[in-house]
Amino acid sequence: MAPPHQRVAAPTRPAPAKPRLKKRRRRWLRTTALCLLILLLLGTAGVLGSMLWFDSAVHRQTVLANYAGRPADVAVENRRGFPLFR
């Protein structure tokens, strides 16, 4: 055994562990997919909104229902004798 003046006290706690480096996951695929999904949803909402706006802005009038000089309805058949519908 070593003399008392040369004895070394045992450490009271272990040395701090080295911080582990986290593996960086590649999230570019998830980010790209999310961006494309958001763009698709915004585009769809824009198209539907434009369709609704245009449909509400159109003023419909029945101008071709009856007018002077319009030919009378005539039963028309094709070559095989089937009626053609107008």
Q: 11 pLDDT band (50/70/90 cuts)?
A: low
Pair of tokens at residue 48: 């539907």
pLDDT at residue number 8: 67
The total number of structural domains in the chain stands at 1
pLDDT at 63 over 60: yes
Range of the domain at 55: 23-66
56, part of any domain = yes
62, part of any domain = yes
Mean pLDDT within 4-27:
73
72, part of any domain = no
6, part of any domain = no
pLDDT at 79 over 80: no
16, part of any domain = no
Task: Work out the angle at residue 17's Cα, subtended by the Cα atoms of residues 13 and 23, and round it to the nearest 5 degrees.
Answer: 160
pLDDT at 36 over 80: yes
pLDDT at 1 over 90: no
Reported pTM: 0.45
